[in-house]
Chains A and B, each alone.
Chain A
Amino acid sequence: MRFNFGFFMREALKNIRTNFLMSITAATTTFICILVLGVGLLVSSHVEGIVGSVQQDVNIEWYLSSDMSQEEIDEMEGEISSFPEVENVSYTSEEEALTRFQDTFSDNPEVYQDISEGVLPASLEIQLNEAEDADAVAGKLEDAGAAPADLNYPQQTIERLNAATGYMIWGLYGATALFLVSSILLISNAIRLSIFARRNEIEVMKLVGASDSFVRTPFVFEGLLQSIVGAGLAALVVVWLNYLFVDWSQSALPYVPVASGAVDTILILLALVIVGVAIGVIGSFVSVTRFLRV
């Protein structure tokens, strides 16, 4: 028998119209599940993005003693930049350190009005490729003549951050996976209920001589349409929330490096719609098949 797409689509649409409440229930369940799933993915990927950029920002500051000459400093800067772990070295003079300090506290001038040039030391700011190399590089700097007290780098912070964010990211992914499982159960249950309400219809269709696939296909199309609507709307809301969050974080949390590019919105959109539609279609297929044994 020829596969009559138009017929099955018309049947599916007619069924959705006559069982509107049930269709809305299934679509709403899909919407809510996919929305929460999407928000979970969004949070995970933003946290991952922020952690990644924090780790990249790790640098070592070497406060130079005032009796080093400019030539010595230049020589040292050249030597350090040749370390393989080091990405970049920049020199901050005493004047620049003061200017920067004043800029930071420009709202409270009383903090810096008594500080004169020379109080804040000049420094070398050493940016690292990998946060884990901080200890090794610090060791090399000490060999080169730096006093340990003059080196400032957040080694402990990095270690803690690494551990905490590791757990956090795994936790987020675990929660997302759990939610995926419960979404599958919830959505397929909603579908099963709507099909259960129509099991007599399925029996009649079978008695009139309809083949399994002839009975099943309109139901699967229904599941497809419901889940496209539910998951599609949810995916759009997730993308919109992402946009709002990135926008808000840029003004409210300027020092937190929220990357708008950390989340590939198109990819998330696609993944959510695919997950939703797959659950809808497979759920309908399985649920109808249960009632086909007449």
Chain B
Amino acid sequence: MIRFDNVTKIFGRDTAALEEINLEVEDGEFIFLVGQSGSGKSTMVRLILKEYEPTAGAIHVRGTRLSAIPRRKIPRHRRSIGCVFQDFKLLPNKTAAENVAYAMEVTGQKRRQIRTKVPQILELVGLTEKMGKMPDQLSGGEQQRVSIARAFVSQPPILIADEPTGNLDPDTSVGIMQLLHRINRIGTTVVVATHDKEMVDVMRKRVVALDNGRIVRDRVKGAYLDEV
């Protein structure tokens, strides 16, 4: 589903964000990328989205080598990956429902389809009553639910979350993680970059630990530290 082959990313002249990363994420897997700030988690996420090009090595997503995708086709690539960010990245001038609808509009789906699908997905994330609210009228947890709904509404095969609970309190974070888990159980491959130790320990999923741009550990049912 997602494969990194000897990927190195160097910023500027000699700041190596990632060094010789090899990683394979299977179809339908749930995987945590953990590590401190600056360890290279976000760089990996951005490489998968083709926001950056790797300095060396190759990345394949669903069998396609990313460097072979022309700029013109990047939007289509991104539509196959639902994306959730730490700062939610909602459109401030649109209501919760409109934000979710926008992700369907960019793919040119019919209005009728959008009108039936958006309430369904908002119900799934538990926001039926807040559909008409603007982002600044929602709590952080609610905004993150909207952004998950937006990421998932087109049912992409992959969902990537970059520090999804970074701005949320622990109780709210549990809800968000459960939501991601539910999405994974439907068959979506989920990649979560985080340094939220408690979440990782509770979920008992595959954990890939990064340190200074290198993979230092890869456990199938891991915990954040995994000293045991």
Is A294 a contact of B51 with CB atoms below 8 Å? yes
28 A-B residue pairs with Cβ-Cβ distance under 8 Å, sorted by A, are A1-B107, A2-B108, A7-B105, A14-B93, A15-B93, A18-B93, A201-B91, A201-B92, A201-B93, A204-B91, A206-B75, A207-B49, A207-B83, A207-B89, A208-B102, A208-B103, A208-B106, A209-B75, A209-B78, A209-B79, A209-B103, A209-B106, A210-B102, A210-B106, A211-B75, A211-B106, A214-B105, A294-B51
Nearest CB in chain A: distance from B93 CB, A: 4
Given contacts A7-B105, A294-B51, contact A207 B92 (CB under 8 A): no
Q: Does A141 contact B (CB under 8 A)?
A: no
Q: Does A157 contact B (CB under 8 A)?
A: no
> Could you say which of B49, B51, B83, B106 contacts A205, with CB atoms under 8 Å apart?
B106
Q: Does A4 contact B (CB under 8 A)?
A: yes
Q: Does B208 contact A (CB under 8 A)?
A: no
Q: Which residues of A contact B103 (CB under 8 A)?
A: 208-209
Q: Which residues of B contact A214 (CB under 8 A)?
A: 75, 105-106
Contact with B along A190-230 (1 / 0, CB 8 A): 00000000000101111111111010000000000000000
Of A14, A205, A206, A208, the most chain B CB neighbours within 10 A belong to A208
What are the nearest 10 A-B pairs in CB distance? A209-B79, A1-B108, A210-B106, A209-B78, A211-B75, A18-B93, A204-B89, A209-B75, A208-B103, A209-B106
Nearest CB in chain B: distance from A140 CB, A: 76
Is B93 a contact of A210 with CB atoms below 8 Å? no
Nearest CB in chain A: distance from B119 CB, A: 19
Nearest CB in chain A: distance from B162 CB, A: 11
Beyond the given pairs A206-B78, A210-B75, 17 more chain A to chain B contacts, judged by CB atoms under 8 angstroms and listed by A's residue number, are A18-B93, A19-B93, A201-B93, A203-B89, A204-B90, A205-B91, A207-B83, A207-B85, A207-B89, A208-B150, A209-B76, A209-B78, A209-B79, A209-B103, A211-B75, A214-B75, A214-B106
Of B51, B83, B89, the most chain A CB neighbours within 10 A belong to B89
Which chain B residues in 74-116 approach chain A with CB under 8 Å? 75-76, 78-79, 83, 85, 89-93, 102-103, 105-108
Is A208 a contact of B78 with CB atoms below 8 Å? yes
Which chain A residues in 12-46 approach chain B with CB under 8 Å? 14-15, 18-19
Seen from chain A, the residues whose Cβ lies within 8 Å of a Cβ on chain B are 1-2, 4, 7, 14-15, 18-19, 201, 203-212, 214, 294
State the majority secondary structure of interface residues on A.
Answer: helix
Q: Which residue of A lies closest to B94 (CB)?
A: A14
Q: Which residues of A contact B90 (CB under 8 A)?
A: 204
Q: Which residues of A contact B76 (CB under 8 A)?
A: 209
CB-based A-B contact count at 8 angstroms: 50
Is A4 a contact of B106 with CB atoms below 8 Å? no
- A214 to B106: give the CA distance in the assembly, Å: 7
Q: Which residues of A contact B89 (CB under 8 A)?
A: 203-204, 207
Q: Which residues of B contact A206 (CB under 8 A)?
A: 75, 78
Q: Which residues of A contact B92 (CB under 8 A)?
A: 201
Q: Which residue of B lies closest to A18 (CB)?
A: B93
- A210 to B83: give the CA distance in the assembly, Å: 13
Contact with A along B149-182 (1 / 0, CB 8 A): 0100000000000000000000000000000000
Q: Which residues of A contact B85 (CB under 8 A)?
A: 207
Nearest CB in chain A: distance from B52 CB, A: 11
- A7 to B111: give the CA distance in the assembly, Å: 10
Q: Which residue of B lies closest to A11 (CB)?
A: B105
Q: Which residue of B lies closest to A201 (CB)?
A: B91
Nearest CB in chain B: distance from A159 CB, A: 64
Nearest CB in chain A: distance from B140 CB, A: 17
Q: Which residues of B contact A14 (CB under 8 A)?
A: 93
Nearest CB in chain A: distance from B216 CB, A: 29
Is A205 a contact of B102 with CB atoms below 8 Å? yes
Q: Which residues of B contact A210 (CB under 8 A)?
A: 75, 102, 106
Nearest CB in chain A: distance from B135 CB, A: 11
Q: Which residues of A contact B150 (CB under 8 A)?
A: 208
- A208 to B89: give the CA distance in the assembly, Å: 10
Q: Which residue of A lies closest to B150 (CB)?
A: A208
Q: Which residues of A contact B51 (CB under 8 A)?
A: 207, 294
- A290 to B108: give the CA distance in the assembly, Å: 24
